[in-house]
Amino acid sequence: MSAVSDIHSRIEEQSVKSPLLRTMTGLALGVCTAISAQAATASASLSNVHLQLIDLDPNDGITAAISFNGDTSTYNNAYWSLNGSYQAGDWQYAPGLGVAIPAVAVSGVGFSASASSTAGDLFQGAGWGGSAQASAVTAGVRSTAYAETYAGQFTLAPHTLLVLMADSPAATVSAALGEYASASAYLSVQSLDGSTQGSAYAQAYINADGAGYSNAPSFLQVSFVNLSGTAISGYLYGEAYAYASAAPVPEPGSAALMLGGLLGAGALLRRRARR
């Protein structure tokens, strides 16, 4: 028997007649029921992720150029965990930036997660796009999803500016007290040693205490510049990410304390009624 059901049955056994106590009981049971059936949701997306190269010195005889000499990939992943332990997931991977891969999804009673990508040419036409959604209702469940396109290493020609852009970034979350939800649409470029880096994102989250944050730019843009006379290398990355964590149900001890308080109040009211 669940903690909430136990409270119901014990209250009925005590034959509580007081209108005040019935009101108190209803409120308490409502809180218990809400805590045991809360839902957290998160979603993120970005579209037309693409690159632009700008020649900073047209007279140096060096063409603005970028090459990828490390791993490049596009990746969709969706999975869920219970009380911190991985349970199951689905993923798709393909070498290359912005290539076509199947969508992924995982779902069950009280949770779901999914991720999808749209193929695109990062240098012309419509760029890559990705989206991710996650929800968790069942206590202790966490669901996570992300879609990403990633260049393990690139080399940028001398006197060249690299601009990484994305359109229509979105990140939305919803969560009740005690839950956590986070979503982000994210771009990043950095040098191999991490000394030069930049990022841009749309982000939203709600903490377990109810505090949160969100921003919603109309587009994302991040740049990486090579002002030197020699080529330099770095990483670039685009991602849509969603994470949702459901609140735990009340501990048995907490439910017992609540029950004890209600029954104690009932006994007090009955004694007063007999006076």
Mean pLDDT of the chain: 83
Q: Quick one: pLDDT band at residue 205, thresholds 50, 70, 90?
A: very high
Residue 19 has a pLDDT of: 54
Which of 31-40, 118-127, 211-220, 262-271 is the most confident on average?
211-220
b/e code 116-126 from CB counts within 10 Å (16+ = b): bbbbbebeeee
Is the pLDDT at 249 greater than 80? The verdict is: no
Residue 196 has a pLDDT of: 73
Residue range 232-243: mean pLDDT, rounded: 96
Is the pLDDT at 270 greater than 50? The verdict is: no
Tell me the angle at which helices 3-13 and 252-274 cross, rounded to the nearest 10 degrees: 20
Is the pLDDT at 175 greater than 50? The verdict is: yes
Q: Look at the alpha carbons of 63, 69, 74, 79 in this order and tell me if their dihedral is positive or negative.
A: negative
Query: For residue 81, what are the CA distances in angstroms to 2, 114, 184, 241?
Result: 22, 14, 20, 16
Is the pLDDT at 197 greater than 60? The verdict is: yes
Which of these ranges, 83-92, 172-181, 244-253, has the smallest mean pLDDT?
Answer: 244-253
Domain ranges in the chain?
Answer: 3-36+250-274, 40-245
Is the pLDDT at 133 greater than 70? The verdict is: yes
Which of these ranges, 12-21, 59-68, 143-152, 162-171, has the smallest mean pLDDT?
Answer: 12-21
3-class DSSP state for residue 240?
Answer: strand
Number of residues that make up the chain: 275
Residue 70 has a pLDDT of: 73
Q: With beta carbons less than 8 A apart as the criterion, state whether 225 and 152 touch.
A: no
% residues pLDDT > 90 (the chain) = 66
DSSP string, 47-94: EEEEEEEEES-TTSS----EEE-S-EEEEEEEEEEETTEEEEEEEEEE
